[in-house]
Chains A and B, each alone.
Chain A
């Protein structure tokens, strides 16, 4: 355990000293703050859920950026220059410890760099809305961080499997494009083609195939309420047995999305010839 923390610490230092991480931190912070500020304080009508529109814009921003950053950071870290990797692997520590340590360090970096944006807008939201608004915001950030873990693990998995840096980057960009865009278009197409109950089942099952969709739907249900999806939302809740159960299923599936690639990656890494 101590070794994992040591590796995580080292990973954290390397990543936070990177200029790109600093630039990402600053820009992400400005974007998140800008959206929450303009959404919460714009002069308008009272008694209306202004916050849901704000969170929807936030959701859009983070759903694009966070997976991309996680993928790029993960790939960079696991395919860094051969010398340091070889040095690390030659130490008397198991490869599983290296994998977990690196992932922990990477996650700490993402947590820390998004904390600038999320943290300062949390202060704003705590000042401007009531407790329930703040709790919603916290659960939203929690879901987004969970998404970043999934994509870090996916990046590690791809980097370990493809081994070469260029190949890993290509695959990772394809994964991002696939989960952000291609998958959803396929499912929308499928829904239009299928009919009745089959279409229902198809859409609801296919949500689980894409962590981005899971987090998007889950955040909208948490942040706003399921009515935002209209009839589809009602059907979704009935399919999963209520709001609470949907959330439990969501968290469970997201953890499955973490654990399976992590398991395969650690098996692969253990057998790999460096």
Chain B
């Protein structure tokens, strides 16, 4: 009898499980948090494979688990607090779509909140979230290949960061895509972070360091932001082969460096920003092999930034090479007889050693005026501004400052390989056909002109 009863109950349970399984693929009930139940009932170290579908409710991962969804299961938060909170070490979260976090900026509601170490967050997509991935006192985590989309309808100041690190060291952030958040990556009190190959666009600051030392970022792209990277109160930052492109608004920067010391920038592309590199109260930084091109002002530097070194950089097509706030800076524009390439250098190289024989005076009178009296920039491109610069170079009566590159390079350093990596090289156009079109249109217009001017408009009076 007992056996019969068990069999009956078992059958009953089976039906329920089957029914639940079918339901869970389509809808699930708000009060029933299936995933949380599975997490609670699993053992430490288990792997939970989540099928596709919609799962509603916040999750707390409080033991070492591997959560994988091969079918991009959607985890929809309850709309308050963080969606997934990871409290145990060495968890893996892979392949989920995570959406609808809380909206309290003071509580820092995030898509994924990590309070533990050695976790891996891979291949997730986060949207409709306040903060994206928040690391709190968490070391040695890997955050890779996630896509984070913030709440675009909020004001920039009301949004959270894409990836937020607080008091977390030795983390790796790689190949993520971040947009529509406040800061792309906000790194505070976090040392030894490695940030590689991320793409950040349309945010306030692409990368924002506060009190973070010995960080390394490589191969990232920062486009259309308020500032590409804002490096503040940091030491020993190294950044290589990043691109800072089109960061344009009234006060936008490619790279903003404030109170930052002993940093190294190598082979970065800083193109088409309002201000390429901004320095304030920063010392002993080293810039080499960077391309600083087509910015409104290549460098804006405060007088209190001293002993920064620039060598073998290309300064091409910038409207102003340098704006100095104050009188002068003790920047080194060359290192051991090797300076930078300046496209408006007009000197010569008689001994053919690759560097110009006369020094290059970086700032002209108009640059000096506009950096100290910003309103005079309205006279940009005016004949008066050009006349001032030319007359000051012919009659150097006024000593404006001592920014000299004594060994300017005659040829630019090649940065083509980096530009190719970022797909920046414009495919060469068929110039011949355009040239022909121009030529014939020109001839056409001239012929019309001559025809009309020779036409007798007054047949009666001309005789």
Binding site for B on A (CB under 8 A): 9-10, 12-13, 16-17, 21-22, 25-26, 29-30, 33, 37, 41, 43-49, 53, 56, 59-60, 63-64, 112-113, 115-116, 119-121, 123-124, 127-128, 180-185, 187-188, 191-192, 199-200, 203, 207, 212-213, 216-217, 220, 225-236
Contact = CB atoms under 8 A, between A and B. Distances in A.
A100 B429 CA distance: 48
Given A120-B442, A216-B382, A203 B375 contact: yes
B13 interface: no
B362 interface: no
B446 A13 contact: no
A115 B445 contact: yes
Interface of B: 245-246, 248-252, 271-272, 274, 293-294, 296-297, 317, 319, 369, 373-385, 387-388, 419, 424-426, 428-429, 431, 434-435, 437-438, 441-442, 444-446, 449-450, 452-454, 457-458
B457 A13 contact: yes
A16 B445 contact: no
Given A127-B437, A220-B380, 18 more contacts: A9-B458, A10-B458, A37-B435, A43-B428, A44-B426, A48-B272, A59-B381, A112-B452, A120-B441, A123-B438, A124-B434, A128-B434, A184-B382, A184-B384, A187-B379, A192-B376, A227-B250, A228-B319
Contacts of B271: 45, 48
8 contacts: A112-B452, A128-B434, A203-B375, A207-B378, A227-B274, A227-B296, A230-B274, A233-B378
Interface hub of A37, A228, A230 (most chain B Cβ within 10 A)? A230
Given A16-B453, A22-B450, A56-B381, A41 B434 contact: yes
B452 A16 contact: yes
A181 B438 contact: no
A48 B426 CA distance: 10
A180 B384 CA distance: 7
Contacts of B249: 227
Give the top 8 A-B pairs by smallest Cβ distance, nearest first: A184-B384, A16-B453, A46-B426, A120-B441, A116-B445, A234-B250, A231-B374, A232-B377
A182 B438 CA distance: 37
A182 to B, nearest CB: 8
Nearest to B423: A46
